[in-house]
Amino acid sequence: MELDIKDLHVATVDGKEIVKGVNLKVKSGEFHVIMGPNGSGKTTLAKAIMGHPGFKITKGNIFVDGKSITSLTPDKRAKLGLFLQFQNPVEIEGVGFVNFLRAARESITDNTVDIKQFMGEVRSYTEKLAITNGIVGRTLNHGFSGGEKKKGEILQMAVLRPAISILDEPDSGLDIDAIKVVASNVNDIMKDHGMGAIVITHYSRILSYMKPQRVHVMHDGKIVAEGGKELILKLEKDGYESVIKDKE
């Protein structure tokens, strides 16, 4: 899959422009990182890619393999192979986690799922992700700790096998061991299924375990700097001001 974002402008439904002309191209198998100060529009960009109803595209386009997806509903975009891990996963009252996973897989693949085989698959991923406390047997995200929610979303990603995933701060709120586990699982899914990934993060820690091809820095709704891993080191050393000033 090739995701091609062209001059994308995104506003809230009541007209406040947040993303102000983003260009970004990501292919399956590639690993991109988006960094940027709080409030620069990273989450809004991610939500717009998935078709979140709280935002509208006011200019530009999002293409998947050359076709515009901007009129597609989020479920259609998921069916094409896009996946978003939310910065703040929501609790869904009354929906069992395993049933949710199964329904999502059935909807995306248009195939019924053999429950026994599926449970085996889920179990193997929960082991790999070191998911404990029986969360898969519980209501989705209800009472999950912050880290459990994040790992739960990685489990969802593993089960759905998207072509390109957007991970919005997969490392926030995770303990030191959990960051390693999450990074290595994302790496494995990329390797085994050729998944592409856009990881939004504030910290370089997760990048000790994952090797990005390209780093993009967002500021005030635009990408203001791009580079390789060395850009992250520069940001850590000199702060965002340095790259924002370079641009202005």
Indicate the residue among 36 and 147 with the shorter CB distance to ligand ATP: 36
Judged by CB, which is closer to ligand ATP: 48, or 159? 48
Closer CB to ligand ATP, residue 40 or residue 126?
40
Minimum distance from residue 15 beta carbon to ligand ATP (Å): 10
Residue 41 or 162 with smaller CB distance to ligand ATP: 41
Report which residue type is found at 110: D
Beta bridge partners of 4: 25, 63
Instruction: State the DSSP code for 205.
Output: G
- For the CB of residue 43, give the shortest distance to ligand ATP in the complex, in Å: 3
> What type of residue sits at position 224?
V
Which among 214, 219, 215, 213 is positioned nearest to 247, based on CA atoms? 219
Q: Nearer to ligand ATP by C-beta: 39 or 120?
A: 39
> Among all residues, whose Cβ is closest to ligand ATP?
43
Given 43, 126, 165, 201, the residue binding Mg ion (CB under 5 A): 43
Shortest distance (Å) from residue 97 CB to ligand ATP: 25
**Which range binds Mg ion by CB under 5 A, 8-16, 34-42, 152-160, 182-190?**
34-42
Beta strand ranges found along 109-151 (DSSP E)? none
Residues that bind ligand ATP (CB under 6 A): 12, 16, 18, 36, 38-44, 54, 87
Query: Which range of residues in 43-51, 153-161, 179-187, 240-248 is near Mg ion by CB under 5 A?
Result: 43-51
Both structure tokens of 105: 């897989």
Taking the complex as a whole, how short is the minimal distance between the CB of residue 10 and ligand ATP, in angstroms? 9
Range 136-139, long-range pairs (CB < 8 A, 24+ positions): 136/97, 136/98, 136/101, 137/96, 137/97, 137/98, 138/96, 138/97, 139/91, 139/92, 139/93, 139/94, 139/95, 139/96, 139/97
The answer to the question of residue 40 lying near Mg ion (CB under 5 A) is no
Which runs of E-coded beta strand occur in 89-221? Answer: 164-168, 196-200, 214-219
Smallest distance, Mg ion to C-beta of residue 173, A = 13
Measured from the CB of residue 42, what is the shortest distance to Mg ion in angstroms?
A: 5
Instruction: Return the one option of Mg ion, ligand ATP, none that residue 54 interacts with (CB less than 5 to 8 A, by type).
Output: ligand ATP
Q: What's the closest the beta carbon of residue 117 comes to Mg ion, in angstroms?
A: 36
Using the contact rule CB under 5 A, the part of the chain among 81-89, 94-102, 170-178, 231-239 near Mg ion is: 81-89
On the 0-12 / 13-18 / 19+ scale of CB atoms within 10 A, 79 is middle
What DSSP designation does 163 have? S
Strand order of the β-sheet with 222-227 is 82-85, 164-168, 196-200, 31-35, 214-219, 222-227
Contact residues for Mg ion, defined by CB under 5 A: 42-43, 87
